[in-house]
Every structure is written in C-alpha cells, then in structure tokens.
C-alpha cells in the first residue's frame, strides 16, 4: 500500500468561519464548572438503549444519539460547527462538522473543546480521534506526549469540564515506515516515526471520533474561542 498522506494548511476563509461561529462575546475566566465563561457551541452525545429509525440528516440539532452500550463512529468534516447526521445508532454512524482547529500548524489551537459527563452516576465512555487512509486506520498511538484516548466518566457529585483539545483535535500520524520495495509499496506495517498533526492536517479518506460507550447517558462537549497550547511543534 502506498503512503500518500500530506500536510495541508487552511486559508483565511476558514479563519473567518471560526470567527463568525464565535461572534458573540469575549471568553472570560472559569465559570466554576471547569470551563471558561462566555459564548460557546455545545454538542450533547446522548446514549440511548434502542436504535433510532428516523432520518436525522441535515436537521442541525446540537445532539448526537449513540448506543448506550457499544461503539459508534462520529464522522468529522471540516466546516462550521454543525451536526450533519444525529443518528449514531445506525451502521452509517453520526456526522459532525467543525473548523480546522490549528490552521497554522503551530500546536496552538484557534478554539478549545471541553468535556464533562452528565446523567446517572457510574456510566463511562472512551473516545479517541482516528483517520483512515490508504495504509489503514490510525487512532491514538502510545508514545510520549502524543494524542491519547480519553475516558469520560460519571461519578457522584458535581460534574466538571476538562480541556481535551489536544486529544480530540489532533491526530497521531505515522511519518516514517520500514522497508519499501521499488514500487513504493510497504512491505512492513511497522511505524518508525510517529508525530502529532491537527485534525484535517493530513490527506485521509475519513476522519472520525471513535466513541465506545459503557452506559454513559450524556457526554457534553463545549467549544470555546480560547486557544490551547498543546506543546507540540511541527518540525
């Protein structure tokens, strides 16, 4: 298989889109629940016991339905904040669009995402950012300071937000491989150099959040016009 990933950059138009999305009021200090104060876009991921049968494409609600037990894909496309398909209980999965989080590729986000678990205690879900290209499917890879799978869990007491911008807005990227033949086909699947790139920062067939639910009724994501420095630099 030929490795064809390339870094891409976004133009001024995408920066303008992000500015329009957040054109409400300045972000200020924490509201006491772990998230900043100020305008934000909220996405609710709702666990349900039965699959949905209604067509939920194009209704632009701010919620996505997923099985309360099991995996689903939330496909990601570049654009304005918007739910494109709210039904994550069918084989096609759900679909959500969001702006390029780091069009400059400098490791500092143009916006940040926070998450908290709500609903009855003791439910949890694992979530990670993935992409698929001609070489396979790639999710969080275990290396120092890389992107990680996050766990969203509900316990008793007050539920607070956590900044998960690095893990949900960036990707682990395999920059080098071992052993190729003369035609450029890979003869080994060993990745020898792993890097971190922004979401939409490589050429891919699809980007998605892998959501594995263990009884969590509600995961709430909030997107704020606040930068997060991930500590990563594209060298």
Q: Where are the domains of the chain?
A: 12-27+38-224
pLDDT at 2 over 80: no
Joined tokens for residue 38:
């100020």
Alpha carbon distances (Å) from 16 to 8, 21, 23, 123: 18, 9, 10, 38
Q: What is the pLDDT of residues 160-178, one digit of tens each?
A: 999 999 999 999 887 777 7
pTM for this predicted structure: 0.81
* Residue 179's pLDDT band (cuts 50, 70, 90): low
Residues 166, 172, 173, 177: is their CA dihedral positive or negative? Answer: positive
Specify the residue for token string 């039965």: 50
């Amino acid at each position: 298989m030929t490795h064809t990933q390339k870094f891409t950059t976004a133009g001024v138009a995408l920066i303008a889109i992000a500015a329009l999305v957040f054109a409400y009021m300045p972000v200020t200090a924490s509201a006491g629940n772990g998230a900043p104060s100020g305008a934000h876009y909220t996405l609710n991921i709702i666990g349900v016991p039965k699959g949905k049968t209604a067509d939920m494409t194009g209704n632009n609600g701010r919620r996505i339905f997923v099985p309360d037990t099991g995996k689903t894909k939330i496909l990601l496309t570049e654009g304005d904040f918007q739910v494109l398909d709210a039904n994550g209980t069918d084989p096609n999965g759900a679909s959500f669009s969001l702006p390029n989080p780091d069009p400059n590729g400098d490791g500092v986000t143009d916006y940040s995402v926070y998450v908290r678990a709500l609903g009855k205690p003791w439910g949890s879900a694992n979530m990670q950012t993935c992409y698929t290209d001609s070489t396979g499917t790639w999710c969080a890879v275990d290396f120092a300071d890389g992107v990680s799978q996050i766990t969203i869990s509900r316990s008793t007491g007050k539920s607070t937000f956590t900044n998960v911008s690095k893990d949900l807005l960036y990707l682990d990227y395999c920059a080098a491989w071992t052993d190729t033949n003369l035609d450029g086909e890979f003869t080994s699947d060993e990745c020898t150099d792993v890097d971190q790139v922004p979401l939409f920062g490589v050429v891919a067939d699809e980007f998605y959040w892998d959501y594995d639910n263990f009884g969590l009724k509600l995961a709430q994501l909030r997107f704020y016009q606040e930068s997060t420095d991930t500590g990563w630099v594209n060298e």
